[in-house]
């Protein structure tokens, strides 16, 4: 289908351009959203008659978007989510979630304005593009964390997922006397560990003898 663009559309063209697109894309997206008209002779004439007004309106909307972008640019929004020790979320942060975060922060943004290739599924700082106007994009940061404290630490540059792995390694290397306050319990744990190591060594020795006998 041939259409007349009523605004700049990425990868298609500028306002006033006549382009050919798939019928479904035109009917389901461009035409209902008022972003284009069918390229009929009547519509071409109508567009030329209204071009001046349309261009003036576009400049007005662009100026408004640039003013908002100046305030929104560089802003950070915190999304608290549950996640595993590796930082993998038990869910995701979608374009709808981000739009709601930004709106609650005092900026009116629609879900369709948030440009996200795929939902966010891990904790961390994520840069997200927001299209305020066909010619005005702005980058914001979404700080996905398990708590407000963790979000603050991430904002300072700390890697909280790395810390989790370090904690696990530290736990694995602890000696019984470092874990148990009661000396008797610590001694018992040490003896049990020694017995396990001794048993493993005997099992290896027995296995070696068996192989020689065979």
Question: How far is it, in rounded angstroms, from Cα 75 to Cα 109?
Answer: 14
Does 100 or 192 have the greater pLDDT score? 100
Least confident stretch, 4-18, 140-154, 168-182:
168-182
pLDDT score, position 187: 54
Closest to 130 (Cα-Cα) out of 99, 96, 100, 106: 99
From residue 90, how far is each of 80, 123, 127 by CA, in Å?
A: 11, 10, 20
Cβ atoms within 10 Å of 36's Cβ, excluding its own? 27
Helix (H, G, I), strand (E, B) or coil at 161: helix
pLDDT surpasses 70 at 172: no
Architecture, CATH, for domain 76-168? Roll (3.10)
Question: How far is it, in rounded angstroms, from Cα 206 to Cα 200?
Answer: 10
pLDDT score, position 185: 47
Question: How far is it, in rounded angstroms, from Cα 130 to Cα 68?
Answer: 11
CATH number for the domain formed by residue range(s) 2-71: 3.40.5.10
Reported as a single tens digit per residue, the pLDDT across 40-81 is: 999 999 999 999 999 999 999 999 999 999 999 999 999 999
Domain ranges, ordered by start, for the chain: 2-71, 76-168, 174-213
Hey, do 2-71 and 76-168 end up sharing a CATH topology, with the first three levels equal? Answer: no
């Amino acid at each position: 289908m041939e259409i007349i663009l009523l605004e700049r559309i990425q990868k298609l063209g500028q306002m006033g351009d006549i382009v050919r697109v798939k019928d479904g894309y035109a009917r389901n997206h461009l035409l209902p959203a008022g972003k284009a008209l069918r390229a009929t002779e009547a519509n071409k004439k109508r567009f030329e008659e209204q071009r001046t007004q349309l261009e003036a309106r576009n400049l007005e909307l662009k100026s408004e978007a640039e003013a908002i972008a100046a305030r929104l640019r560089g802003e950070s929004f915190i999304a608290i989510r549950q996640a595993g020790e590796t930082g993998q979320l038990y869910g995701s942060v979608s374009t709808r979630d981000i739009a709601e975060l930004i709106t609650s922060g005092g900026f009116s943004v629609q879900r369709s304005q948030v440009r996200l290739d795929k939902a966010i599924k891990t904790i961390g700082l994520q840069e997200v593009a927001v299209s305020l106007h066909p010619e005005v994009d702005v980058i914001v940061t979404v700080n996905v964390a398990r708590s407000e404290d963790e979000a603050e630490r991430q904002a300072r540059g700390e890697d909280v997922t790395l810390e989790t792995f370090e904690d696990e390694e530290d736990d694995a290397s602890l000696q019984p006397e470092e874990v148990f306050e009661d000396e008797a319990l610590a001694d018992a744990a040490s003896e049990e560990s020694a017995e396990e190591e001794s048993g493993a060594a005997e099992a290896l020795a027995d296995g070696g003898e068996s192989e020689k006998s065979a």
